[in-house]
Amino acid sequence: MESTQSKPGPLCNPEGSQRTLYPYVTGTSVVALKYKDGILMAADMGGSYGSTLRYKSVERMKPIGKHSLLGASGEISDFQELLRYLDELVLYDNMWDDGNSLGPKEVHNYLTRVMYNRRNKFNPLWNSLVLGGVKNGQKYLGMVSMIGVNFEDNHVATGFGNHLARPILRDEWHENLTFEEAVKLLEKCMRVLLYRDRSAVNKLQIAKITEEGVTISQPYSLKTFWGFSAFENPTLGAEGSW
Amino acid sequence: MDQSIQNDLNAPHSMGTTIIGVTYNGGVVLGADSRTSTGVYVANRASDKITQLTDNVYLCRSGSAADSQIVSDYVRHFLHQHTIQLGHPATVKVAANLIRLFSYNNKNMLQTGLIIGGWDKYEGGKIYGVPLGGTILEQPFAIGGSGSTYLYGFFDQEWKEGMTKEEAEQLVVKAVSLAIARDGASGGVVRTVIINSEGVTRNYYPGDALPLWHEELEPQNSLLDILSSSSSGPDMMIS
């Protein structure tokens, strides 16, 4: 094996501190938007292992407390660990038994602190997180990256979603979308991701959070469209091209 | 250490072995090959990669032999203590979670993919996959190790819910044997462990008892036997 006397790498320290080098099992984009009654979030159920689409039933969105919904892309083991931290956070909050409960703003802030502090130790949780929720009629939708960058917006996406879904959302999102319009819009984004993101799998869930609570849909698949004459005969008039 | 930084960020480390765990109607069947290799040399051609954690929970190990052994030893120790404290057998979920804890918290140092399978009276037969990184995923079936890359298509086609014990074991043996046929890092014998409410059964399928696949020939004792049995005289020359 390698010698223990290798010259120090750029970010090594003599005590052999831990730092996450790269992710193993990863989830791809999460897309979310605000609509009339709350937040809608979509994510596929894929867990990729490098270029292999290894796991196809990974739930990448989970409810947090009564008022929030967390979606994650990136390393699944780090997401699972985050869920444990949040479990503990919510438990302690409930133990106060004071009628108060953690809202999405608070959860988002907590996540930001966790992610940023890990980044400062050069041992990040390799995730991009989307946190959405409704409390006391106030809708909230925010994002945190693995280096601790955080912001809120009317629509957010992680990974490829930033490049493919956000432009669609910038064009077609407006205040007070109905549930139906919002679902159709999200599905439009997810379909584009399915066509163009190599790590996407055709099995997704859409989650809804409103004042009433969280619902995560059963897994389902989207229809795709291939019936274009240009697809059937792409090299017409240009043999050898693609 | 520098080498790992230079690795293509998307390429997982290849691991010698094929390991499989499947649930069936009543329990689980775990299966593995028996080859342990150091580089190109086969250090052990009859290893046992299915190790016991408790009476009712077993573990399939892949990746670094040392890492998987040490994790299984630690978890066996803590599970033993847990069982004493609890007063009755530990659940498969608890065993799987302990494995996850070690794998996750030492992710920078460990290189082992594990499949936990067992039976407990609360949930019946369960399979948990813990790949590199320490993700934990409960699955109806799990495959792991370098040989598993050849089995994704096979399982996509052949897997079905609610198999009988015999069907499940046959599927596992067939799958491991297919992987052995194509993966240089897998070979030897196929070992299976069946766990259900009645207990644990270990089975052994020696390399010469496995089915033959494409381009593989029936093993013979010697060329001389072939020559003497061919009726039209020695057919040695092809001109």
Nearest to A25 among B7, B100, B135 (CB): B135
Question: What is the CATH architecture assignment of B12-230?
Answer: 4-Layer Sandwich (3.60)
CB–CB contact B135 A12 (8 Å): no
Separation between Cα atoms, residue B24 and residue B167, nearest integer Å? 9
pLDDT in tens, A72-89: 999 999 999 999 999 999
Cβ atoms of A69 and A31 closer than 8 Å? no
CA torsion, ordered A117, A122, A123, A128, to nearest 10 deg: 70
- Write down the pLDDT at residue B16: 80
CB–CB contact B137 A77 (8 Å): no
Q: Which 3-state string (H, E, C) describes A11-51?
A: CCCCCCCCCCCCCCEEECCEEEEEECCEEEEEEECCEEECC
- Write down the pLDDT at residue B230: 82
Task: Assess: ipTM above 0.90.
Answer: no
pLDDT in tens, B100-158: 999 999 999 999 999 999 999 999 999 999 999 999 999 999 999 999 999 999 999 99
Q: DSSP H helical segments within B140-220, as ranges? A: 152-158, 165-182
- Write down the pLDDT at residue A236: 87
CB–CB contact A77 B10 (8 Å): no
Would residue A99 be called left, alpha or beta, if left means φ above 0 and alpha means ψ between -120 and 50 degrees?
Answer: left
Give the nearest chain B residue to A55 (CA atoms): B137
pLDDT in tens, B198-211: 999 999 999 888 88
Separation between Cα atoms, residue A9 and residue B1, nearest integer Å? 8
**CA neighbours within 13 Å on the CB side: how many for A155?**
25
Mean pLDDT check: name the lowest of B27-36, B167-176, B225-234. Answer: B225-234
Mean pLDDT rounded to a whole number for chain A: 92
Tokens in use for A187?
């599905």
Type of residue found at B196: N
User: Residue A165 phi/psi, 5° resolution?
Assistant: -90, -40
CB–CB contact B10 A50 (8 Å): yes
Please report, for chain A, the start and end positions of each structural domain, with discontinuous segments joined by +: 25-219
Does residue A20 have an active-site annotation? yes
Give the nearest chain A residue to B142 (CA atoms): A55
- Write down the pLDDT at residue B12: 43
| Crossing angle of helices B92-105 and A76-95, rounded to 10° | 110
Mean pLDDT check: name the lowest of A150-154, B17-21, B43-47. Answer: B43-47
Q: Which residue has the higher pLDDT, B12 or B59?
A: B59
* H/E element, B81: helix B65-86
CA torsion, ordered B39, B31, B44, B136, to nearest 10 deg: 50
Environment class of B184 (CB within 10 Å of its CB; exposed 0-12, middle 13-18, buried 19+): middle
CB–CB contact A49 B131 (8 Å): yes
Chain B: residues touching A (Cβ < 8 Å): 1-5, 7, 9-12, 100, 103-104, 107-108, 129, 131-137, 139, 149, 152
> Between A and B, how many CB-CB pairs are < 8 A?
66
Cβ atoms of A112 and A150 closer than 8 Å? yes
- Collapsing DSSP states into helix, strand and coil, what is residue A115? helix
Type of residue found at B37: S
End-to-end CA distance of chain A: 46
pLDDT in tens, A171-209: 999 999 999 999 999 999 999 999 999 999 999 999 999
The class that CATH gives domain A25-219 is alpha beta
Please report, for chain B, the start and end positions of each structural domain, with discontinuous segments joined by +: 12-230
Tokens in use for B151?
């089995």
Separation between Cα atoms, residue B90 and residue B121, nearest integer Å? 10
